[in-house]
Amino acid sequence: MAAAVDSFEFLAQEIIGVFTSIRDVLALVGVAFAAKRTLTLSGTAWQVIRVHGLARLFPERNLAKRYGPWAVVTGSTHGIGKAYAQELANCGVNIIIISLGQEDCEATAKYLEQTFGVQTQSIPVDFNEGKPVFDKIQKEIEGKEIGILGERKTLNNVGVMYDYPDYFLNVPAEKLWQLVHVNISAATMMTHMVLPQMVKRGRGAVVNVSAGGCCMPVPQMTVYSATKVYVDFFSRALNYEYGGRGITIQCLIPYYVATRMTKFSSTLSNPSLFIPTASTYARHALTTLGWSERTTGYWPHTLQSWVVRMTPVWLWLWASTRLNNALRRQAIHRQVRRKSSVRNPGSRPSSIILSDPISSAEVKLAGLF
């Protein structure tokens, strides 16, 4: 009987010892996890302070000396591209304007020359025309020392978006081709055109504009967000290949900015802290050049990016679908209102048509995502 009791006590001690060991292991795992999370959050906080704080306190003013005297800015007659060109010109960089429409290009060039005293060159093109467009641009910029492509000192900002959020099969095939040609081909071939001279000199900057939609799948903006994923990955891989040769490769990942692309929605066309004007966004974004290879360019958008990264994919898909459903309804109602005004210019549209069908909760989603 005593032997049985001793055996039980021995077994109990062994079991307790095992659980104690497991508890110690779990404690160590917990400490390691907490330490990792703390270091990650600290690193992220430092990056935000450095990119959006120190960069604004100590901006690079002599961009022409650091990168080169000329900047090629695609899509530079409207929106972010135009605002970015103005910021570059304000720093004394000469601007090559590449965009659709000769009158718009010439008007932008005249404004930059008169306002900032820089040299300009206008190259009106339609990137939908394919290879002949790039042959023309190559000939036009020959002999110029390009420092920045937006693509920055080349800003590759030219871009096409949906007319409003919609399901894939409802988007015209012509629009899908535009999305591919303009959002992918232009960024790729403009970089291929300008990068060799930068590598030869050992200095230069390429700034590609992606979008917040590259971070998660976006239903009803399916192809647009997919093309922006390309721009993001293209920029990151390019930075790995050429970042060590004195070339700055930066990818900007803005969320909603109040430009012509968002005119389909009164919610997105109304500037706010999280939906800045193009000039506000460009002013913030330019200060990050040389400080970060991949950034939203605007600190409130960085906060949005944090929220998106922490959001489960299923919740993101649900929320973005709800938001885009609301934005599509709003866009269609605005179209109906405009058509009604054209047909009956003297009449007062009905209150149903005048109201924008988007709830307060959906407005908050627009500001968040």
Name the maximum alpha-carbon separation found in the chain: 106
Return d(Cα 334, Cα 15) in angstroms, integer.
71
- The CA-atom distances, in angstroms, between 296 and each of 113, 215, 281, 316 are 29, 11, 10, 19
Q: Any catalytic annotation for residue 224?
A: yes
For residues 336 and 264, is the Cβ–Cβ distance under 8 A?
Answer: no
69 closest CA partner among 153, 180, 7:
153
Chain centroid, CA 299 distance in Å: 13
270 closest CA partner among 163, 367, 158, 165:
367
For residues 228 and 213, is the Cβ–Cβ distance under 8 A?
Answer: yes
Hey, which residues does 205 pair with through a beta bridge? 148, 248
Write down the catalytic residue from 162, 164, 224, 255. 224
Q: Which residues participate in catalysis according to the annotation?
A: 224
